[in-house]
Structure 1
Amino acid sequence: MLLKKSFRKKCLILGLTISLSIPTMAMGKESVSGLSSTNQSMDLIEQTEAFAVSKSINLLDIPRFVTKEQSKAVNKGLNIAKDKQNDRFVHNAVQFVTAMEAGKYGQALKFSSHALKKSISEQWLEIYWNTVLQQLHPQLGAFTGISGAEVIESNKVHTNVEVVLQFERGAYPFTIRVDKTGKINDFLLNSFFGPSAAEPAYSNPDLFTEKEVVIGKGEFALPGILSIPKGKGTFPVVVLVQGSGASDKDETAYALKPFRDLAHGLASNGIAVLRYNKRTFEHSVKTTADQYHTVDKETTNDALLATRLLEKEKKIDDDQIYILGHSQGGMMVPQMINQDKRDNIAGAIVMGGPARTIQDVILDQFDYLLSIGQLTPQDSAFFKEQFAMLNDPNFSGENPPAEFHLGQSVFWDSINDIKAAEMAKRQNNPLLIIQGERDYQVVSDVEIPIWKKELSDRTNVEYRLYPKLNHFFTEGEGEMSTPMEYFTPANIPEYVVNDIAAWVKSKPD
Structure 2
Amino acid sequence: MHLKNPIRTKWTVIGLIISLCIPTMAMGKEPAGSSSSTNQIMNLVESSEAMSIPNAHNLLSIPMSVPQEQSLLTGKGHILESNKSQNRFEQNAVQFVSNMEASNYKQALKLSSQALKKSISEQWLEIYWTTLKQQLQPQAGSFIGFGGVEVKESNRVHTNVEVELQFEKATVPFTLRLDKNKKVDDFLLNTSMGPVASDPVYSNRNSFTEKDVVIGKGDFALPGTLSIPKGEGPFPAVVLVQGSGASDKDETAYALKPFRDLAHGLASKGIAVLRYNKRTFEHTVKTTADQNHTVDKETTDDAILATRLLEKEAKIDDVQIYILGHSQGGMMVPQMINQDKRQNIAGAIIMGGPARTIQDVVLDQFEYLLSIGQITPEDYEFFTAQFEMLNDPDFSGENPPEEFQLGQAMFWDSINDIEAAEMAKEQNEPLLIIQGERDYQVVSDIEIPIWKEELSHRDNVEYRLYQKLNHFFTEGEGDISTPFEYLSPANIPEYVINDIAEWVKSKPDKSE
The Cα offsets for residues 373-428 of structure 1, whole Å up to 9 and x where unpaired, read as 12111221122222222111111101111111111000000000000000011101
Structure 2 residues without counterparts, runs of 5 or longer: 1-10, 54-58, 75-81
Between the two proteins, what is the percent identity of the paired residues?
72
Residue 376 of structure 2 corresponds to: 376
Q: d(CA) in 2 for partners of 1:164 and 1:226?
A: 31
The correspondence of residues 251-330 of structure 1 with structure 2, limited to 5 A, is 251-330=251-330
Query: CA 1:250 to 1:80, structure 2 compared with 1: closer, same or farther past 3 Å?
Result: farther
Q: d(CA) in 2 for partners of 1:502 and 1:15?
A: 35
Q: d(CA) in 2 for partners of 1:71 and 1:201?
A: 31
Q: d(CA) in 2 for partners of 1:136 and 1:309?
A: 41
Shift of 1:226: 0.3
The Cα offsets for residues 219-265 of structure 1, whole Å up to 9 and x where unpaired, read as 00000000000001000000000001111000011111100010000
Q: Which runs of 4+ in 1 moved over 6 A?
A: 11-14, 78-84
Give the conservation status (yes or no) of the 8 Å contact 1:25–1:55: no
The correspondence of residues 62-211 of structure 1 with structure 2, limited to 5 A, is 64-65=60-61, 71=65, 86-211=86-211
CA RMSD of aligned residues (A): 2.3
Query: CA 1:128 to 1:459, structure 2 compared with 1: closer, same or farther past 3 Å?
Result: same
Give the conservation status (yes or no) of the 8 Å contact 1:24–1:55: no
Shift of 1:14: 6.8
Shift of 1:207: 0.2
Residue 50 of structure 1 corresponds to: 43
TM-score (norm 2): 0.91
Give the conservation status (yes or no) of the 8 Å contact 1:236–1:272: yes
Query: CA 1:150 to 1:464, structure 2 compared with 1: closer, same or farther past 3 Å?
Result: same
Q: d(CA) in 1 for partners of 2:72 and 2:458?
A: 56
Residue 17 of structure 1 corresponds to: 17
The Cα offsets for residues 273-316 of structure 1, whole Å up to 9 and x where unpaired, read as 00000000011100000000000000000000000011100000
Q: d(CA) in 2 for partners of 1:118 and 1:83?
A: 31
Q: d(CA) in 2 for partners of 1:184 and 1:93?
A: 7
Give the conservation status (yes or no) of the 8 Å contact 2:16–2:483: no
Amino acid across the alignment from 1:51: L
Q: Secondary structure at the match of 1:205?
A: coil
Residue 478 of structure 2 corresponds to: 478
Structure 1 residues without counterparts, runs of 5 or longer: 1-10
Amino acid across the alignment from 2:154: S
Q: Secondary structure at the match of 1:209?
A: strand
Amino acid across the alignment from 1:427: Q
The Cα offsets for residues 190-223 of structure 1, whole Å up to 9 and x where unpaired, read as 1123211111100011000000100000000000
Residue 433 of structure 1 corresponds to: 433
Q: d(CA) in 1 for partners of 2:133 and 2:353?
A: 36
Query: CA 1:506 to 1:264, structure 2 compared with 1: closer, same or farther past 3 Å?
Result: same
Q: d(CA) in 2 for partners of 1:109 and 1:175?
A: 17
Residue 222 of structure 1 corresponds to: 222
Give the conservation status (yes or no) of the 8 Å contact 1:246–1:280: yes
Query: CA 1:464 to 1:323, structure 2 compared with 1: closer, same or farther past 3 Å?
Result: same
Greater mean deviation of Cα atoms: 269-278 or 167-176? 167-176
Q: d(CA) in 1 for partners of 2:434 and 2:344?
A: 22
Shift of 1:84: 8.2
Amino acid across the alignment from 1:139: Q
Q: In the alignment, does 2:31 pair up with 1:36? A: yes
Amino acid across the alignment from 2:197: A
Q: Secondary structure at the match of 2:153?
A: strand
Q: d(CA) in 2 for partners of 1:347 and 1:137?
A: 49
Give the conservation status (yes or no) of the 8 Å contact 1:84–1:150: no
Amino acid across the alignment from 2:456: S
Give the conservation status (yes or no) of the 8 Å contact 2:52–2:407: no
Q: Secondary structure at the match of 1:345?
A: coil
Amino acid across the alignment from 2:65: S
Shift of 1:141: 1.7
Q: Secondary structure at the match of 2:349?
A: strand
Q: d(CA) in 1 for partners of 2:416 and 2:122?
A: 33
Amino acid across the alignment from 1:36: P
Q: In the alignment, does 2:249 pair up with 1:249? A: yes
Shift of 1:88: 0.2
Shift of 1:171: 1.1
The Cα offsets for residues 461-487 of structure 1, whole Å up to 9 and x where unpaired, read as 111111111111111112111111111
Amino acid across the alignment from 1:348: A
Give the conservation status (yes or no) of the 8 Å contact 2:46–2:61: no
Amino acid across the alignment from 1:86: Q
Query: CA 1:289 to 1:37, structure 2 compared with 1: closer, same or farther past 3 Å?
Result: closer
Q: d(CA) in 2 for partners of 1:192 and 1:134?
A: 21
Residue 409 of structure 2 corresponds to: 409
Q: In the alignment, does 2:443 pair up with 1:443? A: yes
Q: d(CA) in 1 for partners of 2:359 and 2:62?
A: 28
TM-score (norm 1): 0.91
